[in-house]
Amino acid sequence: LVVDQQSLLVPLIGDIDARRGERLRTTLLGFLAAQRARKVVIDLTGVAALDTHAIAHLLRCVDAARLMGARVTLSGLSADVCHAIVGLGVDLGATPTFTTLHDAIDDARAR
pLDDT in tens, 6-52: 889 999 999 888 889 899 999 999 989 888 889 999 999 998 778 88
pLDDT in tens, 96-111: 999 999 999 888 888 7
In 10 A of CB 46, how many CB atoms? 10
Residues 6+ away with beta carbon under 8 Å from 102: none
- What gap in Å lies between CA 66 and CA 84, rounded to an integer? 23
Inter-CA distances, 103 with 3, 43, 81, 98, 99, Å: 14, 11, 18, 6, 8
